Amino acid sequence: MNPLRAGVEPGTELFTVTTEVDRDRLVRYAGASGDFNPIHYNDRIATEVGLPGVIAHGMLTMGLAASALSDHLGDPGDVLGLATRFTRPVPVPDPGQVQVRISATVRSAEGDVALVDLAVKVQDRAVLGKAQAKVRLH
């Protein structure tokens, strides 16, 4: 059940979660999305184009934020919209994983809709900019 109610105060922190992204997750996402750009699995190609190595798909990173929010709300249908800018790549080491920290804070609420700011960071650096969701209040 959606824990957000009409009258929620701006500045209310809803949650902070951390999720791990490893190379296996990149492969699974590539298969699901059809995005087989080699910068997401081949270090040589990624570095040849100026990246620090293999990077996570931007839409995977945004999807992690959307998933964390819908998990918190309890009903994916309560996420009415989501927008962001991709501001920094998310390098994924091999072996190992990268920790992605996602937090959500209410920006504003009016009627039965709230705007929620999503902060998505890797090593305390934002990887998504102006990430915001419109959610239904109950």
Residue 88: which CATH number? 3.10.129.10
**49 assigned to some structural domain:** no
Paired residues of 119 in beta bridges:
103
On the question of pLDDT at 4 being above 90, the answer is no
CA angle 12-69-58, nearest 5°?
A: 120
Q: Retrieve residue 29's tokens.
A: 């996402």
Question: Which of the 8 DSSP states describes residue 6?
Answer: T
What was the pLDDT predicted at 7? 75
Instruction: Name the nearest CA neighbour of 108 among 130, 133, 83.
Output: 133
Average pLDDT, the chain: 96
Q: How confident is the model at residue 8 (pLDDT cuts 50, 70, 90)?
A: confident
What was the pLDDT predicted at 52? 96
What was the pLDDT predicted at 1? 66
Question: Which of the 8 DSSP states describes residue 105?
Answer: E
Find the mean pLDDT for residues 90-112: 97
| pTM score of the predicted model | 0.93
Indicate the number of domains in the chain.
1
Burial class (CB in 10 A: 0-12, 13-18, 19+), 127: buried
Is the separation of the CB atoms in 73 and 135 below 8 Å?
A: yes
**1 assigned to some structural domain:** no
At 28-72, the pLDDT tens digits run 999 999 999 999 999 999 999 999 999 999 999 999 999 999 999
**84 assigned to some structural domain:** yes
Residue 115: give the domain boundaries: 13-20+57-136
At 17-27, the pLDDT tens digits run 999 999 999 99
**46 assigned to some structural domain:** no
